[in-house]
Amino acid sequence: MDVVKVRQLVRYHAKEIGLGIVDQTRITTAASELFRNMFLYAEGGDVLMDAGIYNDHKAFIITCIDRGPGIEDIEMAMKDGYSTGDGMGYGLPGSKRLVDDFYIESTVNQGTTVRIMKWI
Amino acid sequence: MNIKNAKKRIDNIEDVLATVAAGDLEARIQSDIEDDFSGIEAAIDLLIDDLTDELKNRKKIQNELEEKLKKIQEQQKTIVQQQEDLMELSSPVTKVWDNILILPVIGTLDSQRTQIMMENLLHKIVETGCTISILDITGVPTVDTQVANHLLKTVSSARLLGAECIISGISPAIAQTIVHLGIDLSSIKTKATLQDAMIYAMKQKERVAPGHKSDLLYLDDEVE
């Protein structure tokens, strides 16, 4: 599946779960950034979509797992304008600003896992 | 039963098995003699029957699968063809007024599509000499950093050709998303609706028009 199809799925489920139009757009865009990263740097990966309770919040949860090269310096990767590719460098930090909870974990040469949540 | 007879029977069984192994599934032992060998012979005949059925079934399934595969390959071809067609069709650049081009973008902006879109737009700018182009993104559901980047690049390259680009059709949800992403689109003229963009472009045109017109008149004079 390509980025566009998964993104459509995210939007569909965000709508089903009861998120408003603005939140739908936010989570879809945030997820789109993560999908693109997986696609560009890790040649794809797995995406899990779920609804659940996290810290007393009902949340729409998306987890992206890849087995790509990993991120050497997560702190730098989370800074605005920093990119190792030819992107704008707003993908990860921008996606963090668009969601309510953002978790990233990466091991060099093993892969990266990013989990984002939006409260419902 | 003497040994000579037994050997003959075994040879017969071997012959039949060899024939079946070679591919002729019609061969059977079909012995009329009732003795100790009969059971084995009947069992082998039965096994050959079963094998024949199995092979027939497999052949049938294989044919079905091959047919399905062929169908899928044909569908795949159609999809690729349609995608190419769609790519061409979905980036129309139209001259709507004297000096104004409109490029309505619908769907998703990936790298390939932006490339075609940009080429079409730049080509049309040169061809028509228009100095204002409106990129309407009402039909783009998601603007992420890559899409924004593509838009910025398109606008920059149009500017190099002397054309101003206006981006219209940014929905409230997308506006908020762009701000949160941290993308700076302040270098681009943006309008909420296509109508606003048209009004702005017409006003720009009025300002440009006098010089534009006199150029034309001058040319006309020369022709006469």
Contact list, B180 vs chain A (CB under 8 Å): 26, 94, 97-98
| Closest partner CB to A88 (pick from B141, B149, B177) | B149
Q: How far is CA B189 from CA A34, A69, B170, in A?
A: 28, 39, 12
| Judgement on whether residues B133 and B181 belong to the same structural domain of the protein | yes
| Judgement on whether residues B150 and B192 belong to the same structural domain of the protein | yes
- Do B146 and A97 count as a contact with CB atoms less than 8 A apart? no
Domain boundary among B35, B61, B87: B87
Its ipTM equals 0.77
Q: Counting Cβ atoms within 10 Å, is residue A30 exposed (0-12), middle (13-18) or buried (19+)?
A: buried
Q: Is the dihedral of CA B142, B146, B148, B150 positive or negative?
A: negative
| Judgement on whether residues B99 and B50 belong to the same structural domain of the protein | no
Structural domain total, chain B = 2
Range list of β-strands (E), B140-202:
164-168, 189-191
Domain boundary among B56, B87, B118: B87
- Do A88 and B145 count as a contact with CB atoms less than 8 A apart? yes
Mean pLDDT along residues A8-37? 90
Dist. CA B180–CA A30, nearest whole Å: 10
Where residue B91 falls among pLDDT bands split at 50, 70, 90?
Answer: confident
Predicted local distance difference test score (pLDDT) of residue B71: 96
pLDDT digits (tens, 9 = 90+) for B13-24: 888 888 888 888
**CATH topology for the A3-119 domain:** Heat Shock Protein 90 (3.30.565)
Q: How far is CA A24 from CA A120, B169, B173, B180, in A?
A: 10, 18, 9, 14
Question: B72 is in which domain, residue-wise?
Answer: 3-87
Check: CB of residue A13 under 8 Å from CB of residue A82.
Answer: no
Sheet with A111-119: list strands edge to edge.
A46-54, A57-66, A111-119, A101-107
| Judgement on whether residues B57 and B108 belong to the same structural domain of the protein | no
pLDDT digits (tens, 9 = 90+) for A62-94: 999 999 898 888 888 888 888 887 778 888 888
Range 165-194 of B in CB contact (< 8 A) with A: 171-174, 176-177, 180-183
- Do B183 and A29 count as a contact with CB atoms less than 8 A apart? no
Range 119-148 of B in CB contact (< 8 A) with A: 141-146, 148
